[in-house]
Structure 1
Amino acid sequence: MDNTQRIALLIDCDNVSYNSIEGVLEEIAKYGKVTVRHAHGDWKSEHLSGWVEKLHPNAIRPLQQFAYTTGKNATDSAMIIDAMDLLYSKTVDAFALMTSDSDFTPLVMRLLESGFTVFGFGEKKTPLPFVNACSQFIYTENLAKSFDEKKNNGSHKSKTSRNELRGDTELVILLRKAVEQTSGDDGWSHLGQVGSYISNNSSFSSVNYGYLKLSDLIRASDLFEIEIKKDNSGMYVKDKKK
């Protein structure tokens, strides 16, 4: 992905914890510059007190949305309007939606139809329709844990083990299919093409398994042969079952 793209981060503070915001910003920085940082919510509510402390240090702009009617989430509507305004402004190249609310699934689909990449960040309670709709989705619990560990000792722990990776049927099928579909006549696949195939067909992220890079996860799974070409053209993988 283009790491020079301008990304708009829109946060549904009613439905996602503030604990992972630093990890989210760190992750988005891999793909581009966060030029818009909007946090939506009713800032008169004590429920958002934790978020208030995170706004200034992370240069996030709070957008006030009063709860006009009990039981109705006005924040959702305001965030959708914000996203559409940004879409038509043509000042951003991609969106990052931080929410655990599946009500934003239609918004994701609309942004995708307009050619925008949509990164999703939400808690593990996030319904699958929203998770699967995003170009890439990362569970915020992983980012919160990863950021804290990096801050404390400079390392990332809690990596999914080899046996756990191999026991994840959906993951194994996805990886093997990606390698198969991108392989040449010799059975070898360029890792870059494998990654592109995966991102085009799923919301997969290696971060959800504790690995910063797809190559690290591939190595840990021990499902594939790995070869680094002498001409430095990159890493190639081949299914060990072939």
Structure 2
Amino acid sequence: MQNVKTGFNSIVKYLSTKKEIGRRSIGLLVDGPNVLRKEFDVNLEEIRDVLKEYGNVKIGRVFLNQYASNKLVEAVENNGFEPVICSSDVDVRLAVEGMDLVHNPNIDTLALVTRDADFKPLLNKANEHGKETIIFGVEPGFSTALRNSSDYVVILNTGGVSIPEEEMS
């Protein structure tokens, strides 16, 4: 098991040391069916607050399948995110939107909230195009490939957020 630093303040401090002069423009995409589950207790407001310390979230979209409850859609909207309801595969739509952000000159940083290794090519392409990448994931099932493809890794726990200790150096 990896050693991790936990707590909201340590994450905020960590990301604030990594930002360059000036604020970063962030595009945030959330894989709803993969991480917005009762067993994970993911807090969208906490994710947004962590990212605010690093830059400005210019685009925040939460991708949901057609079976998402009205209550979930309302919660997403109340947290200031744009819900995107997908009638087909959420992963495909998220990947397409992600590529739009990779080619968007107004976005410096691509942040993903997922556990799914299917998004590794998206992270690689973002890195190729000079975008910084941040991955938020949850255990169990957080892809090692995703962790290794991203500039920054944030692990969402039921007790808050944490980052791998090796990221702290």
- Report the TM-score range of the alignment, normalised by the length of the smaller protein: 0.7 to 0.9
Match of 2:152 in 1: 136
What is the aligned partner in structure 1 of residue 33 from structure 2? 14
> Aligned partners of 1:109, 1:59: CA distance in 2, in Å?
28
Greater share of residues in helix: 1
Number of equivalences: 144
User: 1:107 matched to which residue of 2?
Assistant: 122
Q: 1:66 aligns with which of 87, 91, 95?
A: 87
Deviation of 1:111 after TM superposition, in Å, equals 0.3
Distance, in Å, in 1 between the alignment partners of 2:106 and 2:86 is: 23
Aligned-residue identity in percent: 22
How far has the Cα of 1:57 moved from its partner? 2.0
Secondary structure in structure 1 of the residue aligned to 2:63: strand
Shift of 1:121: 0.4
Aligned to 1:34: 57
Q: Which residue of 2 aligns with 1:116?
A: 131
Flag the structure with larger Rg.
1
Look up the match of 2:77: 56
Q: Tell me the SS of whatever aligns to 1:140.
A: strand
More strand by share: 2
Tell me how far apart the structure 2 counterparts of residues 63 and 56 of structure 1 sit (CA, whole Å).
10
* Larger RCO of the pair (alpha carbons < 8 Å, separation 6+): 2
1:78 pairs with one of 93, 97, 112 = 93
Structure 2 stretches lacking a partner, 5+ long: 1-18
Q: TM-score, normalised by structure 1?
A: 0.54
2:117 and 2:146 in contact (8 A); partners too: yes
TM-score where L is the length of structure 2: 0.76
Q: In the alignment, is residue 5 of structure 1 matched against residue 24 of structure 2?
A: yes
| 5+ residue gaps, structure 1 | 68-73, 148-158, 160-169, 175-203, 207-213, 215-242
Aligned-partner SS, 1:14: helix
Q: Please, what is the CA RMSD of the aligned residues?
A: 2.3
8 Å contact from structure 1 (residues 13, 51) kept in 2 = no
